[in-house]
Structure 1
Amino acid sequence: MGILYALVARGSVVLAEFSTTSTNASAIAKQILDKIPGTNDTHVSYSQDRYIFHLKRTDGLTVLCMADDTAGRRLPFAFLEEIHQRFVRTYGRAVHSAQAYGMNDEFSRVLSQQMEYYSNDPNADRINRLKGEMSQVRNVMIENIDKVLDRGDRLELLVDKTANMQGNTFRFRKQARRFRSTVWWRNVKLTVALIVILLVIVYIVLAFVCHGPALPSCI
């Protein structure tokens, strides 16, 4: 499933967010923003069940995503790095004074596109391995989310399994269409090859008949 939810925030003020599925990840993410200690730059991950919240804070700007635990750490943090760079490059100083969700209409589309890329495109991991930019996340410790949230107001992560199944179904259909296209082209190539072979055989037979001893000439 890859990356399911992402946001960009200044302190605890969410500037943009996007989710691929029905979930309460937004509520948990906002609690994490309220309770992460200090203001220093940080890379940290918090787990709950089989989902992990990855957080990167640089120069007061926080990017956070929730991913399935099978996504590992390198890809989610590569995604966060990409989102941070795109956000700063797009909005510059406006980041420091923007109101809550001030960039959501525009930047949520960027979040959606990059989530799709880092979740499903095998080139995403290959490119980041070549860049070698994510070596700093190797020693990031994954803590249980209870350590950052007070137990009294702990929120259970609720993920809509139906929506996830729909997402998986969409990917399956996409792969199926790609497979059918591949099979169709293969059949076309095979048909063309058979026609060519048949024409060659007919040509050879006609040439033999035309130049054979039984007939003086060929029509």
Structure 2
Amino acid sequence: MSGQSSQRIFYSLVARGQVVLAEYSAVTGNVNVIAVRILEKLPHEDTRVSYTQERHMFHVMVSDGITYMAVAEEAFGRRIPFAFLEDVRGRFVGMYGAAAKEAVAYEYNTEFGKVIADRAAYFSDPSSDAINHLQGQLQEVKHIMIENIEKVLERGERLDLLVDKTEGLQQVSLAFRQQARRLKQTLWWKNARLWIAASAATSLLIYFIVAMVCGFTLRHC
């Protein structure tokens, strides 16, 4: 590679397989040749990988059959280049979507090449790193908030289940009370019949005792 640029992300492309759909380069030399060779070796499934070449790194992200590549100095690290690729991917999908599956070579180069150049300049700016870092922290907080909300929703489902079970227990309790009331009434009538029978037997016994003294007609008493 030659004709080095002061821009940290100095080359980038978007491709489908080995078909380059859009490209940006701030340098001269063979960087695009090496990029095409890398495209030939990439797997088809989604992946993220970085390759080192002469103190430079080729950062690659494959997503849904589309390859996004960025080349930067090795000292630039991996976090910002991959943040750049995520940004490019989002814009590319938003602009072209499924149409990219049928696009021919360099079909989007004129239009999207400008987008890549603009985003490469933005992410190469040292001040953007602080912004990206802050955005990353906000995104992390967003994920935590979503996770917390999901836990609350899950807890709400458990409360609903508890309410259902409580309603079931209330129905069982109501049936038990009704059954207990019927049993109480049955026992009351049974006791009443026993009391009546006992009273009748006692009265009859008293009558026989008195009748033995006074006669059956009770005329002599």
SS of structure 1 residue aligned to 2:103: coil
Structure 2 counterpart of 1:107, one-letter code: F
What TM-score, normalized by structure 1, do the two folds share? 0.58
SS of structure 2 residue aligned to 1:132: helix
1:103 corresponds in structure 2 to 108
What TM-score, normalized by structure 2, do the two folds share? 0.57
Unaligned residue ranges in structure 1 (runs of 5+): 136-219
Structure 1 counterpart of 2:70, one-letter code: C
Q: Which has the higher contact order (CA 8 A, sep 6+)?
A: 1
Identity %, equivalent residues = 46
Structure 2 counterpart of 1:18, one-letter code: Y
**Structure 1 residue 75 corresponds to structure 2 residue 90:** no
Counting only pairs closer than 5 Å after superposition, residues 1-219 of structure 1 correspond to structure 2 as 1=6, 2-36=8-42, 38-122=43-127, 124-132=128-136
Higher helix share: 2
RMSD over equivalenced CA pairs, Å: 1.7
Q: Give the drift of 1:33.
A: 0.5
CA deviation vs aligned residue, 1:36-77 (integer Å, no higher than 9, x gap): 2x3211110000121100000111111001101121111100
Q: Give the drift of 1:121.
A: 4.5
Q: Give the drift of 1:114.
A: 0.9
**Distance verdict in 2 for CA 1:14–1:86, change over 3 Å:** same
CA deviation vs aligned residue, 1:150-201 (integer Å, no higher than 9, x gap): xxxxxxxxxxxxxxxxxxxxxxxxxxxxxxxxxxxxxxxxxxxxxxxxxxxx
Structure 2 counterpart of 1:84, one-letter code: R
Structure whose CA Rg is larger: 2
- d(CA) in 2 for partners of 1:104, 1:96: 15
Q: Aligned pair count?
A: 133
CA deviation vs aligned residue, 1:96-133 (integer Å, no higher than 9, x gap): 100000000111111111111111251x2122212328
- d(CA) in 1 for partners of 2:77, 2:29: 20
Structure 2 counterpart of 1:26, one-letter code: N
Structure 1 counterpart of 2:130, one-letter code: R
